[in-house]
Chains A and B, each alone.
Chain A
Amino acid sequence: MTYEPLAYEFDVAHMIDAMVLMFGFQLLYQRRMQSVLRSFALQAVALAAAAAWQAHVQRAPHLYATAAIALVFKGMIVPFALNWLVVKLGIHRNVETALGIGPSMIVGVALVALSILLVLPVTGKATALTRESLALAMSVILLGMLMMITRHNAVTQVVGFMALENGLILAAVGAKGMPLVVEISIAFSVLVAMILFGIFFFQIRERFDSLDLRYLEYYRGDRQ
């Protein structure tokens, strides 16, 4: 028994998705490490709101679990753990950027335009996910990738990756009726990724005395 959402329910869903995207932009905008973590936490909270709303609209209670996972893991535990790592490892508080903040934002808008262009040919006839939600999710994914590319620090690369995963979950919760298997697995992968990242940070810091990824590139062993 499928349930067709009303027009206003779509609107609210789009607004929440747009908030996730805005927090993605805010991630690109920040100069301080702790602001980055705070923006990421906000994005995760917005994602949880989106999942919860979809759970209500689609009459799919398992999405409440997704919302809870997003809220607890990504909204609380991950920023807290990363903050602890930042403090403990004494990572430099400023975010060094490969591309300035202004140009990053411009590229971000270009990526949003690109997502919309990609999605436009897909007609809106009774798809499980509206064009707008798909464009928004794809934009969040691309912004996460942009963040990973334009930041030097390992912590911000991790945050960029998590932002990318936020976009993936946004797409998945919007798709009507997608089975929970994928959602649990996404959560699982986040958890494992966190553990791995933590291990790596310690190892990288141990070896390189810094988490600036430019040091890592020296050992690119192809120069032989």
Chain B
Amino acid sequence: MILGLLPQVAWILGFPLVGALVLALLPAWRWAAWGNVVISGGTLVAAAMLLGQPLPRPTRMFLIDPFNIYLVVLTAFVAFTTAIFSAAYISREAKAGQLDAKHLRFYHGMYQAFVFSMLLALTANNIGLMWVAVEAATLTTVLMVSLYRTRAAIEAAWKYFILCSVGIGMALFGTTLVYLAAQPVMGEGELAMAWSYLVIAAPGFQPDLLSLAFVFLLVGYGTKTGLAPLHAWLPDAHAEGPTPISAVLSGLLLNVALYALLRFKMIMAANGQSMLPGPLMIAMGLSSVSLAAFMLYRRGDIKRLFAYSSIEHMGIITFAFGIGGAVANFAGLMHMTMHSLTKSAIFFGVGIITQNAGTKHMDSIRGLTVSHPALGWAFLVAVLAIAGLPPMGIFMSEFLVVSSAFAREPLLTLPLAFGLMVGFGALLHRLQGLSFGEPLPMRGHAHPGFALSALALAPMFAHIALVLVAGLYLPAQLVDWFQRVAGLLG
């Protein structure tokens, strides 16, 4: 087929691509919101079809292997639930006059374009194509962050754009260096950029060049993952964009960036003599955890609070992959999944809360469990989950990270555990203020009616349920999958 497009991949990519064009051209925004849901549903079905079948052989451009298959399904799933939430959220915003029809067309078209670029990044075998897709994902989200056109939104979008563009430039240079390392061994052309071949031929590459490449790639894709000290764009982008975008940013885009980094880590691992990527990743992971944990205190804006929480969790995941070994990698993969689900659930809740309260300042929001019981208790459970309380999935993965770190490098568990504790404390403190006490008057949008509010809550419940189940019992195939990939990651 064209460009080596695998048929399964064609379906997965085709839905969002066509959807983006359709939604951009559709004039009536009400239809657009539901169209968004339908298209995302189609993408999810196409992704789920991957699960049953045997894995296809990789082509020069595309690849489906154990590592990206579950990420593709996860991405399609979260995109689908977020589309449902977005339909409810956006219709409420539009009714309240915050967004007009032109903005909404743009928003929905961009949403599908964003999903397309993420799925392209996940299924790409050519490292250049992967880079293009990650860049496209950045560009689409930048435009969406500035949707509200306020001063703060423009500043956030500008900062996001500049920092991430520099980061992506670094990543491109790293990609070029990997090609340079590969070319003497593999010859010119596309073969030297296909990941599946690179990983096999890696032992013959020049180690110094690979090490240099990895540093650039770590800086580049690390910026997009939100690792400290390259995280400055993350809190603003999350705080100022529309909440569904914060949900997919935290839940999906950070994962995709980390996935790209991990692909290169696998190449490094295959070549035994290059610099160990572990220590760098551990350092950046730990600094992210510590920085974010301390920044969680004294946050006034609710979305910013959870943005820093995302930084903390991406730090934990990077730390886990930096430690390496079967258990730590397993923990990292599991944490990626759990964090995705939990963080997006939290942002769903945050979206509804800010719409009800009319403000993002946490000091003005009190007693959610009293004023909005379903929302309040669900939000409570979600925040407890992200803070790492058992029996939720995050507790399980954090426990595995700490224990595998203890087994390999006991001293490192001290800063890690300390960071986790500090973050836990901050989140709990804030949660108490938000959930309990006398409710303050809510000055937000009008109540949307039972149907829409149920629709807005449903994705949140679904995600929390999944996280709870995963914490208690992980299905055998999932465990098996994680273990296989953990082995590949080295």
Contacts and interface: CB of A to CB of B under 8 A. Distances in A.
Q: Are any A and B Cβ atoms less than 8 Å apart in their complex? A: yes
Interface of A: 2, 118-119, 121-123, 126-129, 134, 137-138, 141, 145, 148, 154, 157, 161, 164-165, 167-168, 171-172, 175-179, 181-182, 185-186, 188-189, 192-193, 196, 200, 203-204, 207-208, 216, 219-222, 224
B483 interface: no
A221 B212 CA distance: 36
B239 interface: yes
Interface of B: 126, 128-129, 131-132, 135, 139, 142-143, 146, 149-152, 154-155, 157-159, 161-162, 165-166, 169, 172-173, 175-177, 179-180, 183-184, 187-190, 192-193, 206, 208-209, 212, 235-236, 239, 298-301, 304, 361
B489 to A, nearest CB: 26
A127 B213 CA distance: 14
B209 A203 contact: no
A128 B183 contact: yes
B154 A200 contact: yes
A121 B169 CA distance: 23
Contacts of A171: 173, 176-177
Q: Which 4 A-B pairs have the closest CB atoms?
A: A177-B188, A224-B300, A182-B128, A128-B183
A178 B179 contact: yes
Contact of A181 (B126, B143, B154): B126
Contacts of A179: 126, 128, 189-190, 193
B154 A196 contact: no
A194 to B, nearest CB: 12
Nearest to B161: A196
A2 to B, nearest CB: 7
Contact of B239 (A145, A208, A221): A221
Contact of B162 (A148, A165, A172, A220): A148
A116 to B, nearest CB: 13
Contact of B152 (A182, A204, A219): A219
Contact of B165 (A176, A193, A220): A193
Contacts of B155: 216, 219-220
A221 B236 contact: yes
A168 B180 contact: no
B187 A122 contact: no
Contacts of A167: 173
13 contacts: A127-B183, A127-B184, A138-B173, A168-B176, A181-B129, A181-B193, A182-B172, A185-B131, A189-B135, A192-B139, A196-B139, A220-B155, A221-B152
A208 B32 CA distance: 33
Given A145-B166, A200-B157, A219-B155, A181 B301 contact: no
Contacts of B146: 200, 203
Contact of B166 (A128, A138, A161, A196): A161
A118 B157 CA distance: 33
Given A118-B212, A168-B173, A222-B304, 11 more contacts: A164-B169, A165-B169, A171-B177, A175-B180, A179-B193, A182-B176, A189-B135, A189-B139, A193-B165, A203-B149, A224-B299
Nearest to B193: A179
B166 A182 contact: no
A91 to B, nearest CB: 16
B151 A207 contact: yes
Nearest to A144: B169
Contacts of B190: 179, 181
Nearest to B154: A203
A181 B175 CA distance: 13
Contacts of B132: 181-182, 185, 188
Contacts of A119: 212
B180 A126 contact: no
Contact of A186 (B172, B177, B212): B172
A129 B180 contact: yes
A200 B300 contact: no
B128 A161 contact: no
B235 A222 contact: yes
Nearest to A158: B162
Given A122-B206, A175-B183, A179-B193, A168 B169 contact: yes
Nearest to B215: A118
Given A128-B183, A196-B142, A141 B304 contact: no
Contacts of B299: 224
Contacts of A127: 180, 183-184, 206, 209
Contacts of A224: 298-301, 304, 361
Contact of B175 (A123, A182, A200): A182
A157 B236 CA distance: 20
Contacts of A121: 208
Nearest to A128: B183
Contacts of B154: 200, 203-204, 207
Contacts of A161: 162, 165-166, 169
Contacts of B304: 221-222, 224
A215 B401 CA distance: 43
A219 B151 contact: yes
